[in-house]
Amino acid sequence: SEVELSGLDIDSASSLSTPLEETLGPADGWDSAYGRTRGAPLGLRREYARARFGASAWEISGLEPPARAAIEALAILRQPVAPAAVSALSPGVDTEAALTSLVARQLVDAVGDGRVVLHEVVRVDVLAQLDHETKQRLSAAAAELVASTGATASGPRLAWQAGDDGALGSMDQITRVREVCWHWLAAGERDRAADVLLADRELSARSGGAGEFEALLDALGDRPRPRRTTGGSVHETAQATIVAVPLDAERLRALAALRIEIAVRGGRFTEAFERATASPGAVSPLLHAELTLASGDVAGARRALQRLIGSPDASERARAVAMLA
């Protein structure tokens, strides 16, 4: 179903404007701004910023370098974070001054507990203007930051140590693994993304049924890995050619095995059998025989198990005999 959202009425719109003017300064033209935006809250805030800072108030390219560095860090992190996390991705920037400027322009929202976040509309605009190299650099820094804020032997790390502002430090392990993987993928580091997923293989297998980890596996297995190429004009080099570079065979087998395990735990035995057949070496011969049986091919399973009766591994022989029985 669809729900049509209307703008604020004039009284509610005034209650939005009053705190802005009291906190950040007066802005003229409220009545005409309300008419242009039809009461849309984000539109009203944009019009307020334009009245205070000029028509280009929301043009990302016109921001001062510190403010632009801060808003780019927020766009990459894509969740409410404290200034410490922004500083971790934009070293050398006066983060407090930059965020104050961005909040005054209404490009950044203050959550109320010390954290700040971008509206999705603003985030999309910022990402669209990020050059390829900057996006990869910031994504790699975000991956390392999010990974570093997990619980250690002495507990979660503090804000001034690694940008652990509560939002990052309080992530559950499932969310942390997913976030780190997506950041490495955005950085063009498919190998590192795969290693993160495989390092928490049991967690990934147990939690994969809802689709979060299978979406990561899709991205790891099907997308090309960005790689910088040398030579050519300055323009060509700046754009960076995308070259399809597959993951190495060992990682591919491990990822295939993880996907099969997720399917098995979800009761999707036919799918697991088909994937195991399409990925030789991803699972053991005994598990492949079990999947063959679970898929309904009793004769095929019997043939596979009979071959395993002569296995030099006593445990494998015993399990094969038990399954045949």
- pLDDT digits over 162-174, tens only? 444 556 767 778 8
pLDDT of residue 13: 67
SS3 117: strand
* Cα end-to-end span (Å), the chain: 54
pLDDT of residue 236: 33
pLDDT of residue 243: 37
Two structure tokens written together for 43: 């539109």
- The answer to whether residue 233 scores a pLDDT higher than 50 is no
pLDDT of residue 245: 52
Two structure tokens written together for 35: 């008419």
pLDDT band per the 50, 70, 90 thresholds, residue 5: low
pLDDT of residue 307: 87
Interval 238-260 mean pLDDT: 68
Which stretches of 170-279 are assigned E, i.e. beta strand?
none
Strand partners, 118: 108
pLDDT of residue 186: 93
Q: Which helix (H) or strand (E) holds 302?
A: helix 298-308
What is the number of other CB atoms lying within 10 angstroms of the CB of residue 312? Answer: 6
pLDDT of residue 187: 94
Interval 37-56 mean pLDDT: 81
Q: In sequence order, what DSSP letters do the residues of 54-77 get, joined into one string? A: -TTTT-GGGS-HHHHHHHHHHHHH
Query: Which of 307, 309, 277 lies closest to 291, judged by CA?
Result: 277
pLDDT of residue 232: 39
pLDDT of residue 230: 40
Based on its alpha-carbon atoms, the radius of gyration of the chain, rounded to whole angstroms, reads 26
CB under 8 Å to 195, separation ≥6 — which residues?
251
What is the number of other CB atoms lying within 10 angstroms of the CB of residue 212? Answer: 15
Q: Name the more confident of 4 and 297.
A: 297
pLDDT of residue 132: 94
Tell me the C-alpha distance between 70 and 95, whole Å. 7
Q: Indicate the DSSP class of residue 200.
A: T
Burial class (CB in 10 A: 0-12, 13-18, 19+), 119: middle
- The answer to whether residue 315 scores a pLDDT higher than 60 is yes
HSE toward the beta carbon, residue 276, CA cutoff 13 A: 24
pLDDT band per the 50, 70, 90 thresholds, residue 64: very high
pLDDT band per the 50, 70, 90 thresholds, residue 208: low
- The answer to whether residue 316 scores a pLDDT higher than 70 is yes
Interval 41-62 mean pLDDT: 85
Tell me the C-alpha distance between 159 and 168, whole Å. 10
- The answer to whether residue 240 scores a pLDDT higher than 60 is no
What is the number of other CB atoms lying within 10 angstroms of the CB of residue 28? Answer: 9
84 phi and psi angles, rounded to 5 deg: -60, -40
Two structure tokens written together for 191: 């190998």
pLDDT band per the 50, 70, 90 thresholds, residue 234: very low
Two structure tokens written together for 83: 């200034």
- Write out pLDDT tens, residues 250-308: 888 888 888 888 888 888 888 888 888 888 888 888 888 888 888 888 898 888 888 88
pLDDT of residue 167: 64
Query: Which of 138, 89, 83, 135 lies closest to 111, judged by CA?
Result: 83
Of the listed ranges 37-41, 142-146, 163-167, the one predicted with least confidence: 163-167
Average pLDDT, the chain: 79
Burial class (CB in 10 A: 0-12, 13-18, 19+), 317: middle
Q: Name the more confident of 135 and 243.
A: 135
**Residue for token pair 């019009």:** 47
